Structure 1
Amino acid sequence: MADPKPMPAAPDGATGVIVFGDGRLVWGRGFGAEGSAVGELCFNTAMTGYQEVMTDPSYARQVIAFTFPHIGNVGANDEDVEADEAHALGCIVREAVTSPSNFRSSQDYPAWMAATGRIGIAGVDTRALTRLVRREGPPTVVIAHSARGEFDLARLRAMAAEWPGLEGMDLAKEVSRRQVEAWSGGKWELGLGYAGEQAHPRPLPQAGGEEERSDGGVGTGPHVVAIDYGSKRNIFRNLVAAGARVTVVPATASFEEIMALRPDGFFLSNGPGDPAATGDYAVPLIKQLLATQLPLFGICLGHQLLALAVGGRTAKMFQGHRGANHPVKRLADGRVEITSMNHGFAVEREGLPANVRETHVSLFDDSNCGLELADRRAFSVQYHPEASPGPQDSFYLFEKFVGMMR
């Protein structure tokens, strides 16, 4: 086999590069952290919320190409994050990041990217990248930034060529919290922020005597035990706003540990990776939770895991759904909700058992976006009702869940 063609040197002024496994290169100007990272390239169509996107655990092992050309123009702050750290590997933007212009900004976006260890590349035709993903599906890429414009392109290409892809990957264990936390704090208010928000660590209870048990949660109201497969903070804020107490447990918590918290209902969070891989340990647990007859609500990965637990199937999508402008039809009354989505796997409609009702469908491609069980108080949606794209089109789902527990 002939040796591959020599890799070219970086063009003058190029400090960032995107390297595909087949050798294709896209040059740009790097910002944020220096270094390299390999993962799946996907695009997001949202016009705002870049900090929320970068810190959403569902984006683990992915590189985000933002289709909106002006990213970073409102700067960065400590409130607009969905987790303790950034989870997307990096981002690609069209225009150079300008100085921030927003009263809430505490630092510029490149400085925030550097502080979180994430790589950015500007000056890229993100429309062309979007068309590529739509045509070919999400490719594996390496994103790299060197302030001196020095890159070992052969090594980067090998990294891209050797990465196995997201299918078969269980990433929930990587991004899940490691301890039980009683959540407090509701929605954001101007001048107050997330007043009173705090996660209160507590030891994971062991099955056993009553003295070892805990009601958990902070405040009053029905007690939700949320399983963290890669959760977003705003989900818990909305549960609190709807009247619930929330205790969050790791993805690997056992049935006995969860029941020792004396829940009134269960929540299955969003998260990254292949739901079938996470399902190896999540599905047996969810079957046990359903057998209790207590209410259960799932979002995104939680939706997919619920479908698997009742006998459904999931599959990798050709290009996925990611953005804040996805119309979803509610089948019960024909109402259309404008939703935020972030998923590369979906529940297959065919093969769902008779006790499962489809509740929502995408108006983009007719894919499944919601289900509920006829013989259990359990339902789920593929989209993110807490992300407020509508902005309040989907808040009723939290109220529905809390109402079930009451």
Structure 2
Amino acid sequence: MKNIIDELSWRGLIKNKVPGIEHLLKKPTTMYIGFDPTSDSLHLGSLLPIIMLIHFQRKGHKSLALIGGATGFIGDPSERKDQRIFLSKKILENNTESIKNQILNLLKFYSKKIELLNNFDWIQNISFLDFIREIGKYFTVNQMISKDSVKKRMQNKKNGISFTEFSYSLIQGYDFLYLNQIFNCKLQVGGSDQWGNITTGIELIRKKTGKKAYGITFPLIIQPNGIKFGKSEKGENLWLDETKTSPYKFYQFWMNLSDFEIEKYIKIYTFLSKEKIENLIFRHKKHPNKRLLQRKLANEITEWVHGKKISKKIRKITNILFEKKNKPFQFLDEKTFISIYNHIPHMFISRDEFEQGIVLLDLLKKSEFFSSKSEANRALKANSIHLNQILVKENFLIKKENIIGKKYILFQFGKKEFFIIKIEEL
């Protein structure tokens, strides 16, 4: 598909678009997407804007990635019930540098030509008086409070919306104006929650310069359980930084997607061609038990985010833990044990603590997979706990003979959750 709109539509990546965008994109166009440094790592939800940058660049357009070093001081009120906690300048600078490096690494995988900017570089040079005089005059309060992000917060009688957050949309609009004037940027892309901010920029460009600008949003994806896509079942973000979310957990998130979801996500989260994806879907439907789509998506995206070396390790670990045809866990070599220990949830216990043996329920409670011994006991009675790949049906004292390779004990909870304990000298 040569047309970027056709490509994005087929992949389910367009929610709203300004009329006339198809005509604009018949020629090479400069577009941008912004990232606010609210954390020191991007998360799974942050991949969508990066994917959009790459799609535009690959179709012959010019993509700009903008880090909100200035807007991060304020915090976007969109989709927020209350005001964000203000971050210090030092934390914001650290966050900016961290996500800058992440974005550059992700972009290198598919495209080396995307330019990375920071809005602090130009916003720091405009005074408050100049801003409200030269930018604020183009918008009435009536227009501003009609924006969904503002309207929803104003309905919250307890917290409302601060003037600081109220001004966010104007600052983002100013970014679009600046990029339009300096880089001839005519298109802003963002999540559907950014539509109000995008139209503010479009309106500012029209009123101040007489030029026409455009916007596209992609849908915010919600999982069938109602949780925003990119979060775990507990509602935690799945981070791209491996120290915050392990590559194993990241990989398993994709492997555990349902067949109902996977056909949609293979289109959204990979750059595979339409022909390849349709062929994969056809083969998957013939043999759904092989989970071809889940494997392909997990492999593609884990290799993109964490690199080939780590992705290969995670595939090997997944194969060891889930494939019944493999040799028993106790026959694995030390190197493999170490790899498994480093990549799945784990804990360390001293050999002195273990010397007299330790009660199974006590150990399960220590693993923090269960909030109490009674909860662990219920799981035990429900036949949902395996110790070293053997089903455990009762509480007992774990002794030396239950340790594999003199160091390890592997627990499995249900079909998907694994936990490994390492026993060593202090």
TM-score by length of 1: 0.23
From the CA coordinates, give the structure whose radius of gyration is larger: 2
Q: Which has the higher helix share?
A: 2
* Larger strand percent: 1
